Amino acid sequence: MTGLSQLTSIAKMRGNLRESVDDRVAIEEPLEIRLGYEVDGERQTSSVSITMRTPGHDEDLATGFLVSESIIRSTDDVAIVKPCKGDNTIRVELEAGVNVDLERLERHFYTTSSCGVCGKASLEALSAVGIQALTDNTQIARNSLIRLPEQLRNAQAAFEETGGLHAAAAFDPYGELLIVREDIGRHNAVDKVIGALFADGRLPATQLGLMVSGRASFELMQKTLVAGMPMLAAISAPSSLAVALAREFNVTLVGFLRGDTFNIYAGEERIAT
C-alpha cells in the first residue's frame, strides 16, 4: 500500500482470456470532522461533516472544508487541529470568542465524495455570509495556462496507479503548480488545497488560481471564491450554475482545458494572450 492506494487481487479479462493479477485501487474511508467551540463560556462539540475520502492531509481537509463553508476565516480562529479516536476523526478546536452559526451547522453538514457539500442552492446564500466579487487584476499568460493539465497529470502519482483519484492544485500567475492534492472526492481534493493554503497563512489567495482534474461545479466554484482565488481552470465542462457564479462574483472560469484549446466562460480579461 502506498498510502493512497492498496493492492488487491482481481480477474482481468481480455476477450475470452482470464488472468489473475494484482491491481491497485484507491483507498476510500470515512472521515468525521468535529468542531469544538464556546457558547456562553461553555465548550461545545458538534460533528459537522462525515465525508468519504482518501486518507492523507486530513487536517488540511478539515480546515479547508471549514474555510470553504465560511465557518472559519483566519488562522487566528483556530486553537488546535488534531486527530482523535483513531485515524478517521479530526477535531478542530476554535479559539474562545469565535462565533459559530449553530443553525448553519445544523442545516447542511453531511457530505459525500460523490455529491460534495449540499444545501447551497443560490448565489444569494454566498452574499449572505459576506462573500463579495473579486477585484484583483491577476493575469496568466495563455501559454502558461495550457501547460497546467500536463503538470497536474505528472504530479498525480496515485492516479497513475489506480485511475481512480481526482486532483486539485493551486497555481501561480506563471503557470507553476504550488500545491497538489489527490482524493477520491474532487471536493475533498480542493478542500485539501485550501487547507494547505490556510495553514501557510496564504488566504485569501488573490494571486493564485485553482486547477481541477474534472468538471467545474457550483460547489468547486464556491470554494474557489471563498478562498479568494480569482481563477478556476478545469479539464472538463462547467455547470450552468458555476458559470453564473463566476460571472456574478468576477471569477475567471476556464473549461475544457486540453492541449492548446480551452473555453473561457467568465473573466476573460485575466487571460493574457
pLDDT digits (tens, 9 = 90+) for 243-256: 989 999 999 999 99
Is 115 a known active-site residue?
yes
pTM, full prediction: 0.86
Contact 221, 232 (CB under 8 A): yes
pLDDT of residue 23: 81
Range 140-272 has CATH code 3.40.140.10: yes
Residue among 39, 84, 102, 115 flagged as catalytic: 115
List, by residue range, all CATH 3.10.20.10 domains of the chain.
30-119
pLDDT of residue 78: 97
List, by residue range, all CATH 3.40.140.10 domains of the chain.
140-272
Joined grid coordinates for residue 193:
488545497
Sign for the CA dihedral angle at 182, 186, 227, 72 comes to: negative
Fold classified for 30-119: Ubiquitin-like (UB roll) (3.10.20)
Contact 77, 94 (CB under 8 A): yes
Contact 271, 254 (CB under 8 A): yes
pLDDT of residue 65: 94
pLDDT of residue 131: 83
Contact 26, 160 (CB under 8 A): no
Beta-carbon count within 10 A of 3 CB? 11
pLDDT of residue 169: 97
pLDDT of residue 26: 81
pLDDT of residue 105: 60
pLDDT of residue 102: 64
Ranges of the chain whose pLDDT falls below 50:
1, 108-121
